[in-house]
Amino acid sequence: MSKKLFIYGILLFYKSIFGQTIELPKSIQSPNAASLGKYGDIPMDLSTGRANVNIPIYSLNEGGIALDVSLSYDTGGVRVNDVSGWVGQNWALNAGGLITRTVRGASNDELIFNLNEYPESQRGYYYQTHKLNTDSWNSYDHLRSLAANASGGNGGYTDNYMHDLEPDIFTFNFMGYSGKFFLGEDKTWKVRSDYNLKVMIDMNDNLIPMNFPTLGYQPGNPAPLRLPKAIAKIIIIDDKGNKFIFGGNMDNIEFSNGDFFRQSSTLIIPNSWYLSEVYNNLNQKVYSFEYERGNYQASFYNYNVHSDYRKSSDGNFWTPGGGCSYTYTPTALYAGGKLIIPTYLKTINGLKSNTKITFNSGERISSAYTDTVTEIPIWNIYSKWVGYFRNSFGTEFTDEIQKNYYYLTRKQDGITYNYEGGDPYGHINNFLKKLKWRKLNSIVMTGPNVSRSASFNYTDTTNQRLTLNSLSYDQKKYSFEYNNMELLPMSYLSAAIDHFGYFRGESFDMNPSAHYASREINTNTIQYGSLTKITYPLGGYTKFEYEPHTYSKSVDGNSNLINDQGVTSGLRIKKITDFSDSINKIEKEYLYKTDIGFQIPSGILVQRPQYYYPNWTIKTTSGVTFQKNIFSINSIIPLGNFSGSQIEYPTVIEKIMGNGYTKYSYTNYQDYPNSQYSGTISPQHSAFDPKTEFSYKRSKLKLKQYYSESNTLLKEEEYNYGETNPQKVRGYSYENYVPCSQVMDGVLTGNAYEIYYSDFNLLTKKTRIYGTSGQVYQTVESNDFVNYGTFGDNILKSKSFIDSNGKRISENYTYSFNRNGTEPYTSLTDKRIFAIVEKSKYINQELLTSVKTDYALVPTFNANGVAVSAQIFPQKTSEAKGNNSLETTLVVDKYDIDGHILKAHNNTGNYIYYYYGYNNLYPILKIEGVEIADESSILSNINTLKALLATDPVDYTQIKQQQSNIINSLPSHMCTLYTFKPSYGVSSIRYSSGIIEYYNYDSLGRLINVKDQNGKLLKSKTYEIKSQ
């Protein structure tokens, strides 16, 4: 089914509203042929140097909501210790979507139960937002009071125990929508996205993770700790009123335990909620998703931390007291990590078309963390704990080990013991072998007259990471080649990594004085594993050339931008070659520098690793000096921010062979730097502190300049952005601990920060074209936005265009929410259907035209013509020229239950009727003429035609006869009849005149010709690839 035909289903609704005739698109193609079927034309994200590689597989459109199944590839390089997903290293399957959570502090929904000794402690931020919902939220006194009272006075789980005052960050990516959301101090969810979305979470709709009966292993305890309930379901609603439901039942949620080696001491929490259901704005369920639970997995990381601290003596003659010091300098490399309880997509059901997409997966050979011979850091930490337990508990040490691996030694019902063979406490390998990963083998689509399959071919061995070699479906094949994938280590706890985790060929040095230098980039090995070539079904290909990132400025630990030139890890695209034939080869080269003749890199390193932080000085509650030094092989400055990239490029030049070059300039850190904090109780600011960051304003195109081969500026486009009103939420990160157990003198640190969720919209675009004699022709496009609500909606209010002669054309919009308080517009707004109900067009401030759409609660009809329910739909469109009165141009008389127009008429009394088939997805008959008094005979003929179209195989002789019967029964009307080839497009169009057009496709789903009823060729298309 082509994307244009998908759009047709939507246009069928909206074009009718505004009184335009409904027609099929002039050009009909399959979605694959329109994108990557012939050859590349890979789009770029130039501000980060990445190519947006996407391989389409299947597409559905149910109830006006599109769903695409595709593969995407990350061209930023292979991080050695990242375990690949189920479609191979650096590849991801896009199908449906999910929401993931990054926990800050404790999880937002955390409740702690500590036997019967203390009452329930509502630790999670959801229960503590009121502490930041005050005007003095970031004052020194308020912040200090929050931190000082956090211990609850005795260090127990009391009502004040270490309350979480930081909102978790939820990241979503589903069905074309992406962004983040988080909880505000007003206890409402805020959305940071380019799309207008609302998040709804009922905190009473919760579940106990995996139904585990207790929090870890607690033998003989009469009142064991139980796992607290957690968020079960998340609902996101767009500005069209469509509803997307995530989670909802256990199999649709992925869980994790925060410490693989201390499982009983750590909560199991949800970390990902998968898309489970989709409802359109008629509240019809159009998609459902099914998942299946996979085996336990883990995510490990290396760590080695040296630390020492010193607290000065606070004692005197009258108040005895003492200082203390502590030093810890381990020599071994240890593993830390999480236990993961994954889930896998099993089926997608298109409920309107009765289409089912099945995802078949199985256990893979190329697994991770297979044994401690390969993963020595795991053995180091395991043996350290075993030694500790033997010394501390003697013969009962096995109980302590059972606590450590409580979940892993049980089936996922939490009760059934599940250990296989050998001494369960003798070797960590017995636990590691329970960890298993899957690979996706095939995707099968089935439905009425549809049977398609896609198969994945991998290198899947114990000697190489899971590598996707090819994807084959519907006689199409995409092949993939990589740079020395086999030379990457099979260890996923490798020490042969650079600053950002890419391969450098030799292990780093754990000596603090030598560590930084031993993590520098290896410009050769960093490219190992990267995608170098895609070969397309018709023989064309795309080749990728890479190079490391470079920069001329960096951000220091105080958020200041400094001059600092160098090379850093991660890959960027250097050149892309798209090959169609020997004549039509397109080469695009990318230069990451400030200008075409300059050699200075344009990059800004926004995240610089720091492993050693000396002499961090703060004060205790009594005012005594506390000093701390820390070294860690993992950067002690958090390397994650909302933008997700360690590099920004303010300027990038794209050179196209023989066609000049284009210079792109982007908003960047120099324009919108982060700020350190919004309030603090720390006398010395720390690199550990979270920042108030502004990445949402960065990496937006602000200038695009087109140059000729001779370096002449031909055209430029200037972009300007802004916020309607800054919108933000609050967070407070703090610590309260006692370094010297013999002296109850706590260390307090804390920094307040803000998280912005404003839309940073395009306000103006100025286009200047330069003539050969010095002329400048400028046009200006402007947009004006308005905020709606407090959770992130930002709506286009008006737009204008000023041409090079100064003539201004503008449009103003009125939305359903502007008429809130009047029905049916209040109901539309409550359903988040932000429809344009009035549009006014002006030229130089003079009103040119007005268009008004009236909505009403109207009956809908089923396939038998019986009214079944009432829905709010556009009922009437009126138009006016200038200041004249509005005149009705279109009235919709009937809708069906899926929102399709069944009957409409214009102001001349001409009526149009529509009838649908193929599970009510596509029009099969359009009738034009005078009003039909009785449709019963037509409905009878239509039902017969529907049945014929649904047969498999299709009998076109009978279909043509039935179409003739319909035409003959309506001699005074004009009829147009359609048939479709599901998953391809329209297959025939028949007119009352007797003319029939037949649309024919090749095996790749592309239109190859159109013929009439006599076999005469009306149109043809060829697709050729010449030999290389």
In sequence order, what DSSP letters do the residues of 553-589 get, joined into one string? EEE-TTS-EEEEEEEEEEEEEEEEEEESSSS-EEEEE
The predicted structure's pLDDT at residue 5 = 30
pLDDT at 159: 52
Reply yes or no on whether the pLDDT at 117 is more than 60. Answer: no
Residue 41 above 70 pLDDT?
no
Among all chains, which residue has been given the structure tokens 């075993």? Answer: 386
Q: What's the rounded mean pLDDT across residues 840-852?
A: 96
Task: Please tell me the predicted confidence (pLDDT) of residue 743.
Answer: 65
Residue corresponding to tokens 């003739």: 964
User: So what's the pLDDT on residue 121?
Assistant: 59
pLDDT for the residue numbered 38: 31
What are the strands of the beta sheet with 50-62, ordered from one edge? 44-45, 50-62, 65-74, 91-94
* Better-predicted residue by pLDDT, 429 or 508: 508
Q: Give every CB contact of residue 92 below 8 A, 6+ residues apart in sequence.
A: 71, 72, 73, 74, 85
Chain segment 899-927, per-residue pLDDT in tens: 999 999 999 999 999 999 998 989 999 99
pLDDT for the residue numbered 638:
57
Question: What is this structure's pTM?
Answer: 0.91
| pLDDT at residue 806 tops 70 | yes
Work out the pLDDT band at 21, boundaries 50, 70, 90. Answer: very low
pLDDT digits (tens, 9 = 90+) for 387-419: 888 888 776 677 777 778 888 877 766 556 555
Q: Does residue 30 register a pLDDT over 60?
A: no
CA atoms within 13 A on the CB side of 481: 10
Please compute Rg for the chain using Cα positions: 32
Q: What is the DSSP letter of 490?
A: S
Secondary structure letter of residue 265 according to DSSP:
G
How far, in Å, CA of 926 to CA of 838, rounded?
Answer: 29
Q: What is the mean pLDDT of residues 718-740?
A: 90
User: Which range among 312-326, 812-826, 977-991 shows the weakest confidence by mean pLDDT?
Assistant: 312-326
Q: Tokens standing for 387? A: 């030694």
Query: At 156, is the pLDDT very low, low, confident or very high (cuts 50, 70, 90)?
Result: very low
3-state class of 730 per DSSP?
strand
Note the pLDDT tens digit of each residue in 660-682: 999 999 999 999 999 888 999 88
Mean predicted confidence (pLDDT) in 224-243: 88
What are the strands of the beta sheet with 679-680, ordered from one edge? Answer: 679-680, 747-756, 728-737
What percent of the chain shows pLDDT beyond 70?
A: 87
Q: What is the average pLDDT value for the chain, to the nearest integer?
A: 86
Quickly state the pLDDT bin for 32 (edges 50, 70, 90): very low
Q: What is the pLDDT of residue 315?
A: 53
Q: Spell out a b/e string for 86-115, using b for 16 or more CB atoms within 10 Å of the CB, else e.
A: bbbbbbbbbbbbbbbbebbbbbbbbbbbee
Instruction: Return the closest-CA partner of residue 467 out of 530, 374, 524.
Output: 530
What token pair was written down for 646? 């360690």
Give the pLDDT band (50/70/90) at residue 642: very low
DSSP codes, 114-146: -TTTS--B--SGGGTGGGT-STTTTSHHHHHHH
Lowest mean pLDDT: which of 32-46, 102-116, 122-136, 490-504? 32-46
Q: What letter represents residue 726's amino acid?
A: P
Q: What is the structure's pLDDT at 195?
A: 94
Asked whether the beta carbons of 550 and 566 are under 8 A apart, the reply is yes
CA distance 100 to 30: 33
Determine the pLDDT at residue 229.
79
Rounded CA-CA distance 712/510 in Å is: 53
The answer, yes or no, to whether residue 6 has pLDDT greater than 50, is: no
Q: Measured between alpha carbons, how far is 671 from 722 in angstroms, rounded to an integer?
A: 13
Question: What integer is the mean pLDDT of 121-148?
Answer: 90
Mean pLDDT of 305-321: 66
Task: Please state the domain extents for the chain.
Answer: 1-34+908-1028, 370-434
- Residue 375, amino acid: E
Q: Grade residue 749 by pLDDT with cuts at 50, 70 and 90.
A: confident
User: Which structure tokens are listed for 713?
Assistant: 């500026």
Task: Quote the CA–CA distance of 276 and 96 in Å, as a whole number.
Answer: 8
Q: Can you read off the two tokens belonging to residue 897?
A: 């239950």
For position 610, what pLDDT does the model report?
87
- Look at residue 355 and tell me whether its pLDDT is greater than 60: yes
Mean pLDDT across 526-547? 94
Of the pLDDT bands very low, low, confident and very high (cuts 50, 70, 90), residue 951 is: confident
Pairing of strands 604-605, 612-619: unpaired
- Consecutive H or E run containing 608: none
Task: Give the pair of three-digit tokens for residue 150.
Answer: 């956090």
d(CA 1024, CA 566): 46
Q: How confident is the model at residue 11 (pLDDT cuts 50, 70, 90)?
A: very low
CA distance 499 to 605: 12
The predicted structure's pLDDT at residue 112: 54
Q: Tell me the average pLDDT across 823-844.
A: 96
Q: What does the pLDDT average to over 4-14? A: 31
Distance CA 1015, CA 1024 (A): 24
Instruction: State yes or no: pLDDT of 219 exceeds 60.
Output: no
Residue ranges of E strands in 75-186:
91-94, 97-102, 169-174, 177-183
Predicted local distance difference test score (pLDDT) of residue 439: 97
Residue 240: pLDDT above 90?
yes
Residue 428: per-residue pLDDT = 84
91-105, 149-163, 499-513, 708-722: which range is least confident on average?
Answer: 149-163
pLDDT attached to residue 657: 85
Structure tokens at 92: 């991801």
Considering only CA atoms, which of 837, 790, 829 is closest in space to residue 812? 837
Confidence of residue 928 (pLDDT cuts 50, 70, 90): very high
The pLDDT value given to residue 17: 31
**CA atoms of 588 and 46, how far apart (whole Å):** 12
- Residues paired with 531 in a beta bridge: 482
Q: Where are the beta strands (DSSP E) in 239-304?
A: 243-247, 253-257, 268-279, 285-293, 297-303
Residues 337, 666 contacting (CB under 8 angstroms): no
Question: What average pLDDT does the segment 980-999 reach?
Answer: 90
For the chain, the first-to-last Cα distance in angstroms comes to 31
- Is the pLDDT at 23 greater than 60? The verdict is no
Residue 422: the pLDDT is 42
Query: What DSSP string runs through 290-313?
Result: EEEE---EEEEEEE-EEEEEEE--
Return the SS3 of 493: coil
pLDDT at 429: 84
Query: CA-CA distance, 77 to 573, in Å (whole number)?
Result: 10
Write the single-letter amino acid at 62: E
* pLDDT at site 687: 63
499 CB-near residues (< 8 Å, 6+ apart) = 519, 520, 521, 568, 569, 609, 635
- The Cα 355–Cα 784 span in angstroms is 42
pLDDT value at 27 more than 50: no
List the alpha helices (DSSP H) in 600-696: none
Structure tokens given for 728: 């933000």
Q: Is the pLDDT of residue 119 over 80?
A: no
Predicted pLDDT at 767? 98
Q: What is the pLDDT of residue 558?
A: 82
Is 29's pLDDT higher than 70?
no
Q: Write out the E strands in 474-519.
A: 476-482
CA 487 – CA 114 distance, rounded (Å) = 50
Is the pLDDT score of 931 beyond 80?
yes
